Structure 1
Amino acid sequence: MRKKLVLFIIVMVTIVNLISGVFIFLNIQFMKIPGVSTKVDIVKVGSDEGVAEVSFTVFNSNGFDVVVENVKVVMRTSNGTRVGYMEINGGVIPSWGHRVFNGSFVVDFHGCNPRFLNTRITGDVGVNIGFIRKTMPLSVTVVSILGDAENIFTSPVLKVDVDFSEITQKGVNVTLMVDAYNPNMFDIVVSSTLVEIRNETGGVVGDLRLPGFCLSAKETTWVNGSGMISIEALNAEVLTMNMSTVVSAIIAGFNESLSFYVETRVETPDLETLLSSKFPTEAIIRGDYRFSLRGFVDEITIDVYNPNNIELMAKDVTVLIARSDHNKRCVIATCDIADSIIKANTTTTLKGEVVIPYRKLLIPPLDGRFIPDWLEVTVRANVTIQGLNKYIWVGVTGCQDIRLWTLD
């Protein structure tokens, strides 16, 4: 009896296993092809090479685990030339689950047309259950468009420093110092560039020439340019420098020409900073006194030496004479001198006449003397350059002793 029971159990277990095996076999035979989502990006582009990143996701819509293996990625151009290859480690995808596979590889552009790139991903998807094995091929093709050069090219990073140096009768010399960094993976060549300089109303007030230069990939280059602006340009508070040029580069194995535009705004310098700092502008005041019916007359002579390479204009020239009594100052006469041009690199003489009324000269103020200790002669003027609306207000003072024993 016991033997019959054991035999019955063995038979039933065998039947159940056979039925289960049949169902598993049938289920595997009708295994659904996994879904695949693929993304291929060209993330870096150099002169002859690039870097591609591949990411694809496999979705398992079956009730059992599947295995992805023998994954290969091949990138070709539209004419079939292979430019990239990579193998990706496979793995197990759980039932009703998904798995993401990633990788990157170098793309060789030497002599190939990179506009359209075909990326084919192949592999095997299978299942192993006991002695049952089933596999099916996995194949996906992705077409990548590398894009136009403008979409690949990143503009250089420029740091611009402007130096306004010598001022002459022709204009103001300008030096442009450019610190340029190339953030791209390929070399670029900037052609010789004419930089226009405009004032606040948009008028062109000068230009400068920036020589052509080469920017190596991921490197910094320094280049200087020079030019001139008109004197009238200094009337503006801010000047705009417009640089429009053509940049050439070898991108993905092909020569490309790209437009490049930069606008820089700079403040105009003060007039004092443009005038000579090596030699001072000197002035000597001389007075020739004489008596007249009108009063005590002082013939003023002012010798002004201009060390600059440009003529200066002295405007609103005023002479003030003050008497000094016990270090107390009192203005007793004034006069104006006509506007004058001070020649460049030479001495120019300005002349004027001051009449001091006798009552102001001889009648002392409170606690003053009959004859003052001395006379202070002060000359003030607005100094500018013809064509400018900016001025430098200057003044110089000299003392003259007019005690009776010094008078002729």
Structure 2
Amino acid sequence: MKIEITSRSAALLSVLLLSIPVLARGAEPFTAEQLTVIERMLQAQREAIRGELLAELAAKPEEETQAPSTEQSRTRYPSAGHSMGMDITPSPASPDLVAVPLDRGMGNGISGLEMEVNDGKGEVRAVLAHTRAVPDAQRNVQNGWKVTASSALDDKDGGRGHFTTLDALRGGTAIELAFSHASTKRVVIDDHGVPARDWVSLCTAAGFADANGCTLAKIDAATRKPGAQHLAKAYQQFERTHYGWGYLYEAKLGAGKQDFEYLASDLSAQKEDFSTVSLGGSLGFANPRRNVLFAFGFDYQRSYEQADSHIYCGALTNPASPCVSGRLGKPQRENGRLLWTEVRSRFSRFPFSLRVTQNLASDETGVDLPIYFFRGEEGGFSGGLRVGWTSEDGTVGGVFIGSQFDVFR
């Protein structure tokens, strides 16, 4: 084993050695001669440590000012593909735009597993998602694909896992495919195609002689180096003030099945599966700081709804026939037309996502509010409380918990 003693630890070691005889004598005070020796030793060590620190500081600028080699001599404007554009992938600067349960992803580029329980019902969800940057010199552009599979934990009555969104596909087993496109305008380049002064200053702080070879990806990498806290702060401030409003749209298609048990006209028990279909789209806008998202959307859903459960008895001519409890008749087909609006932000330290939905076909209203309370291992919020209300069923509360990850990194 190799032990290395530096000048910083030598001072402490010397004082400790001088203290041993004092401790052995029962903690008697140092003599004036011993105090003089200790003072001289500490002064010498202070000078040695000061010299080491000055040498380290002198070496750092030499390392940081080494500009990376450029493939071309022309000026490169900020490259697209940086995940901070619309925060549809995780970002330490603004996690709010992805802080929603997996069934409310809207552009969420995160894969994960999640379980939710409310009002005695529950649902499990699995999401596989990926986003890809699209090269663009003037904007941050990302396209994303997402596949969501969900299954109700108790679907014998066609119960929905979270009915406050009025999503009929959540009453059974379903799979959904979604495509999203996000874009944020850059405002770091002037009308003549010349990099803005603040962009050049940021490139210089990152170690580039000028804007040649300077990209957002390289600046982002430079902020992760030791001692780059000042650059990280400047980078965050630059991103908050040098992007315009961004937009995000999503199109999705889903299909599934619902299992029902009902009573036939002769009161015999029947079981039957029915297919469900969903088609929808949404549009959202994020402010320049990207800590608030406003969105609205429309979903068409073909689903089935059962009658209420009652007790039924046989004909009067056969009074010996037993009475049975159940839902009489086959489930009826419904064509839902869901119009919704949503806002995502945070209150104090807790991100939330409020959505209000109106079913234009049944005139039913739903309010859904998930609030995140704790983070997962990857640093993103992965669990919390979900409360909601519908004009038909009243107030409901539940909890959700999940693990989010990126399988493509």
Q: Give the TM-score taking structure 1 as reference length.
A: 0.19
TM-score between the two structures when normalised by the length of structure 2? 0.19
Structure of higher RCO (CA pairs closer than 8 Å, 6+ residues apart): 2
Larger Rg: 1
